[in-house]
Amino acid sequence: MKKKIAVLGGDGIGPEVVGAACQILEKANFSLDIEWLPNGEAALETHGTVLPEETKKQCEESDAVFFGSANPPSDPIIMYLRWGLGNYVNIRPTKYYTGAASPLKSPEGIDLVILRENSEGMYTYAEGDLALVQDALPEFRTRHGKSLGDYGKGNFALRIMSETGMKRFSKYACEFAQDRKNKGFPGNITVVTKSNMFPQTCGMLEKAVQEELVDYPELTYTRFYVDDMARRLVRFPDRFDVIATSNLFGDILTDEADEIAGGLGMAGSACVGGKVPYFESVHGTAPDIAGKNIANPTGAILSAKYMLDYLGMEQEADSLEKALKTVYKEGKDLTVDQGGKAGTTQFAEAVLRHIK
Ligand code: NAI
Ligand code: MG
């Protein structure tokens, strides 16, 4: 049976890069049943909503969702894919491919994965008028002794780490690192927090990972604060294996990691743990280059590779990655962000030519 893929192109360069990746999957005759569904700003005009009910139904009847990226009006798509479907882990690999435009002198050997907790932390969408919490918590004191009323008028955002959330994420991270170790990687988990400032929230993540690690004697553990980690990623990127971190830190560190390996346009990801997984590039809608056929579709192509892996189509995933590698090594068909002249579709055609 062909695996069923629901495609949500999203906005901006989303449909362009996902379209380029789908063209490869289709023309390479991979055994997939790919269906484009109405969504995003385009669907707002045709269907009066960024996420029609029928689109949701089709997603839930699919084996995977392949997603582009969304502008803020299309936020309901992201809320649905993450929270509606329950995908609480975002797997974001960073790997250097020879020929990619890394700003580092020696980027060879960068091959790490950032696991970003995808459902809690700063992304609870729990923001509001500060008066709400001032009225509800008149006795509350901050660690430096202020009452909330001392701040006067303002707004708040809640950062929430739940025990269930941290435990399931830590369990996933350990299983993931062990799987990688079984494939020859070092088997190290680096937990990135700011537990010196946030002992109760960041501290929970550290504790949850350490408790889980008791069952994984082959794995080693390191912990760095996020500011230090930002620096280490630039200086020693080849020293990292699996990095586990909370939502906002993961969002920021993955853009940084991707840039040092060649650029934001090159990064793909998998979001898993829920009813139906979804696969998306790390970048956003890139309004500055949208509609020009110049976006680098590598992030979407790599997301497709992770999707094939997830669906048990390892051979196809492998041939896709090998073809991509060859295009970077040859350097003849690279996109503008990589110092080349090729457009989005020309790059995709070059990848397709190298699929064996
Ligand atoms: P962005 O990732 O869209 O772009 C940042 C920079 O990287 C831009 O200069 C862009 O041209 C470049 N870039 C991104 N992808 C590229 C590609 N494939 N090839 C070549 N260059 C590429 O981030 P930005 O500008 O902060 O946000 C733009 C919009 O995207 C906003 O509306 C934001 O809310 C949304 N966004 C959506 C995300 C999602 O749907 N998952 C994630 C991040 C941002
Ligand atoms: Mg981001």
pLDDT recorded at residue 77? 98
Residue ranges of domains in the chain, CATH in brackets: 1-88+273-356 (3.40.718.10), 91-121+162-268 (3.40.718.10), 125-158 (no CATH)
- For 330, the 3-state DSSP assignment is helix
Residues with CB under 5 A from ligand 2 (ion): 251
271 lines ligand 1 (CB under 6 A): no
Q: Which of 120, 100, 97 is nearest to 251 (CA)?
A: 120
Going by CA atoms, what residue is nearest to atom 23 of ligand 1? 284
Q: Which of 230, 278, 240 is nearest to 59 (CA)?
A: 278
Cα separation, 255 vs 310, in Å, equals 23
Cα(132) to centroid of ligand 2, in Å? 29
Going by CA atoms, what residue is nearest to atom 36 of ligand 1? 284
Other Cβ atoms closer than 10 A to 271: 26
296 lines ligand 1 (CB under 6 A): yes
Going by CA atoms, what residue is nearest to atom 43 of ligand 1? 284
Tokens 């609480």 correspond to what residue? 88
50 lines ligand 1 (CB under 6 A): no
- For 12, the 3-state DSSP assignment is coil
- Among 71, 283, 288, the mutation site with the greatest number of ligand 1 atoms within 8 A of its Cβ is 283
Q: What is the pLDDT of residues 311-338, one digit of tens each?
A: 999 999 999 999 999 999 999 999 999 9
Cα(27) to centroid of ligand 2, in Å? 30
Q: Which of 53, 50, 54, 57 is nearest to 78 (CA)?
A: 50
DSSP state of 84: I
DSSP 178-242: HHHHHTTS--EEEEEE-TTT-TTTHHHHHHHHHHHHTT-TT-EEEEEEHHHHHHHHHH-GGG-SE
* C-alpha to C-alpha distances, 224 to 227, 233, 348, nearest whole angstrom: 8, 11, 38
- For 304, the 3-state DSSP assignment is helix
Side-chain half-sphere CA neighbours of 32 within 13 A? 31
Residue type, 307: M
pLDDT recorded at residue 48? 97
pLDDT by residue, tens only, the chain of 356 residues: 899 999 999 999 999 999 999 999 999 999 999 999 999 999 999 999 999 999 999 999 999 999 999 999 999 999 999 999 999 999 999 999 999 999 999 999 999 999 999 999 999 999 999 999 999 999 999 999 999 999 999 999 999 999 999 999 999 999 999 999 999 999 999 999 999 999 999 999 999 999 999 999 999 999 999 999 999 999 999 999 999 999 999 999 999 999 999 999 999 999 999 999 999 999 999 999 999 999 999 999 999 999 999 999 999 999 999 999 999 999 999 999 999 999 999 999 999 999 98
> Sign of dihedral through CA atoms 41, 44, 49, 54?
negative
- How big is the CA angle at 245 (ends 243 and 248), to the nearest 5 degrees? 130
| Tokens read off for 133 | 């919490």
pLDDT recorded at residue 221? 98
pLDDT recorded at residue 1? 87
Going by CA atoms, what residue is nearest to atom 44 of ligand 1? 284
User: pTM for the complete prediction?
Assistant: 0.97
